[in-house]
Amino acid sequence: MAAIKVHGYHASTLTVMVLCCLNEKEVEYELVLVDLPTGAHKKPEYLALNPFGVVPTIQDGDLTLYESRAIIRYLAKKFQGQGTNFLGSTLSEEALVYQWCEVEGQSFNPPAFSICTQILIVPMRGGSTDEAAVEMNVEKLEKVLDIYEERLSKSKYLAGDFFSLADLQHLPCTHYLVNACGKGDLISSRKHVNAWWEDISSRPTWKINFT
């Protein structure tokens, strides 16, 4: 069986999330570089794969699939019998995984990504960080993390006592918050969130791609 092709960029948080998933599932893959700094993601060759012009996109045989969260769900299902079991062992556990995946996408990621954008991306593009926007999103994220603290006081991981897609989805953006944005206190000030973060960010499948 041919290796899955991952069209992406090594510094892209969402590309790395997919690579980490593949590593956890022990699936062979080939990373096809899409050079974002040179605008390769907006050129016709790549737009033929992903008309939205963002990374990553995978090719698995005849299937071309984009949107990173859809990709990792597909991989978790297709390779359910090997590597890390991302979905639990019962329907109820799987439902909780998807619930916390939605929490990441709807409640955690918007303020976290906005903070990273203002602190990292805007200055990179020649602009100035909007400190008021950062402060507003920090306040939003603190409320989300307070809920996480309560949840993680009762289970080791978000969906239960097993590492799931829900935890995986948090790795890239939280990495930037902690290690590049100077916002590590959001994590370290919460005992259970901090223990969870130290656990998931130390997984070998993550560290080999994004350290």
pLDDT computed for residue 128 by the predictor: 93
Mean pLDDT calculated for residue range 48-66: 97
| 200 contacts: CB under 8 Å, gap ≥ 6 | 157, 163, 167, 168, 170, 171, 206
Asked if residue 110 has a cis previous peptide bond (ω within 30° of 0), the answer is no
Residue 97 has pLDDT above 70, yes or no: yes
Domain parsing of the chain, residue ranges: 4-79, 91-208
Per CATH, domain 4-79 is 3.30.70.330: no
The per-residue pLDDT for range 139-162, each reduced to its tens digit, is 999 999 999 999 999 999 999 999
Tokens of 40: 């390769």
What CA–CA distance (Å, rounded) separates 147 from 150? 5
pLDDT computed for residue 209 by the predictor: 64
pLDDT computed for residue 1 by the predictor: 67
pLDDT computed for residue 2 by the predictor: 80
Mean pLDDT calculated for residue range 97-101: 98
Mean pLDDT calculated for residue range 92-114: 97
What CA–CA distance (Å, rounded) separates 115 from 137? 6
pLDDT computed for residue 7 by the predictor: 98
Mean pLDDT calculated for residue range 154-181: 96
pTM value? 0.93
- pLDDT, the chain, mean: 95
pLDDT computed for residue 206 by the predictor: 87
91-208 and 4-79 share a CATH fold = no
Per CATH, domain 91-208 is 1.20.1050.10: yes
Residue 211 has pLDDT above 80, yes or no: no
pLDDT computed for residue 39 by the predictor: 93
**Helix (H, G, I), strand (E, B), or coil: what is residue 60?**
strand
What CA–CA distance (Å, rounded) separates 16 from 53? 17
Place of tokens 């993550």: 206
Mean pLDDT calculated for residue range 48-68: 97
Give the Cβ contact number of residue 130 at 10 Å. Answer: 15
**Helix (H, G, I), strand (E, B), or coil: what is residue 63?**
strand
Residue 184 pLDDT grade (very low, low, confident, very high; cuts 50, 70, 90):
very high
What CA–CA distance (Å, rounded) separates 81 from 52? 32
